[in-house]
Amino acid sequence: MSLFTEPFLTALVLGAVTAGLPLLLAGLGEQMSERAGVLNVGIEGMMLAGAYGGFLVAYRSGSIPLGLFGGATCGGLVAALMALFCVRLALSQIVVGIALTLAAEGLTALLHHVQFSQTYPRLPAAATLPIPLLSAMPVVGPALFDRPLIVYLALACVPALSRLYRETHFGLALQAAGDAPAALDAAGVDVLRTRMAAVLATGVLAGTGGAFMAEIGAGLFVPFMTNGAGFIGIVLAMLARGRPLWVLWGALLFGMCLSLATALQVVGVDIPSDVIQMIPFAAVMAVLVAFGRRASLPAALGVPYRRGER
């Protein structure tokens, strides 16, 4: 079939990785929060703060890597608020999470309006770090092996987190904080500190994802640009049932569908983007209908922990 030409496939896979990477980072982050028992609805706001902060730092400093650090920091700052309110003070995770998302939407759009609404500056393309030999492969080469360093780092997070969850003391503490916080407390581990660490890590991952979206994906910041990516991250984390590798597959599936519209335009097929946007959601629903199984969520998910309270 003439559709599956090399330019089409290259655009498709390249776009899938570019669009899927923020979702991967958000999904991995949300997975960590949920494992520790915090339903992190503020992740959309963390991504947006990361997108704006990352763009700002990259634009002012002229350095994309520095921008990614900036994005991670901004995501972490929003997460610190979430940790303070929802873990330390045990406020409702839903109310605070949605409020943080609204605040991030409003503040980033406001700051962007004040600084850049006339100019809409763009960033130059990020420098890539080609891997010898592999980057020369057709299709997969440019998509996976000729990318900025952050792409490799994000992909490396997947096995790293798998090991963290399975083989470290902290990984077990995270799981206990979500499944049986009182037992963790009795075992002498600080539940609140464990949960706060998880929420902060979520913010750093989601903030980096947002920064990637603005700096490398789009090359500019647009108000509300995350457009539900954080919620897709929540869904990926729940579908993955605690496995980082599944988050990767889900993120690539969503990324593939998001890039399909662009790739089709490359070969001159024009399908309304709304139709294509429906594909990943319909695919997830079809999978759930076909293989629907009981949810396996941490027992204490969404329940703030207070010592001595049942």
Partner 1 sequence: MTTGRVEAPTRREADLYATSSRTILLALAPILVALTLAGALLLALGVDPLTYYGYVLQRGLLSPLGFEGTITRMAPLLLLAASLIVAFQAGIWNLGGDGQFLLGALTAAAAGPPLAAHLPVSAALLLCLIVGAGVGAVWALLPALLRAYQGVNEIITTLMMSFLGVSFANVLVKLVFRDTTTTVPQTRTLPVADRLPRLFDTTVTSGVLIGLVAIVVVQLVITRTAFGLRLRVVGANARAAVHAGLPVPRLVVAAFVISAGLAGLAGAVEILGVEGNVRADWNPAFSLTVVPLVFLARFNGFAAIFFVFLFSVLSIGGESAAHRMGVPSFFNLVIVALVLVLLALAEYLGGRRLSGPVA
Binding site for partner 1 (CB under 8 A): 39, 85, 89-96, 98-103, 105-107, 109-110, 113-114, 223, 228, 231-232, 234-235, 238-239, 272, 274-275, 277-278, 281-282, 284-285, 288-289, 292-295, 297, 301-304
Q: Residue 302 Cβ, how far from partner 1 at the closest point, in Å?
A: 6
Check: CB of residue 150 under 8 Å from CB of residue 24: no
CB nearer to partner 1: give 155 or 303. 303
User: What's the chain's Rg over C-alpha atoms?
Assistant: 20
CB nearer to partner 1: give 293 or 310. 293
CB nearer to partner 1: give 95 or 156. 95
Closest CA to 231 of 48, 37, 18, 5: 48
Contacts of 265 (CB under 8 A, 6+ apart): none
Q: Residue 210 Cβ, how far from partner 1 at the closest point, in Å?
A: 17
Residue 99, phi then psi, degrees to nearest 5: -60, -40
Q: Residue 89 Cβ, how far from partner 1 at the closest point, in Å?
A: 6
* Structural tokens at position 161: 């987190």
Residue with tokens 């509300």: 224
CB nearer to partner 1: give 169 or 293. 293
Q: Residue 38 Cβ, how far from partner 1 at the closest point, in Å?
A: 12
Q: Residue 118 Cβ, how far from partner 1 at the closest point, in Å?
A: 13
Secondary structure, 3-state, 70-112:
HHHHHHHHHHHHHHHHHHHCCCCHHHHHHHHHHHHHHHHHHHH
What whole-number distance in Å separates Cα of residue 296 and Cα of residue 88? Answer: 26
CB nearer to partner 1: give 63 or 179. 179
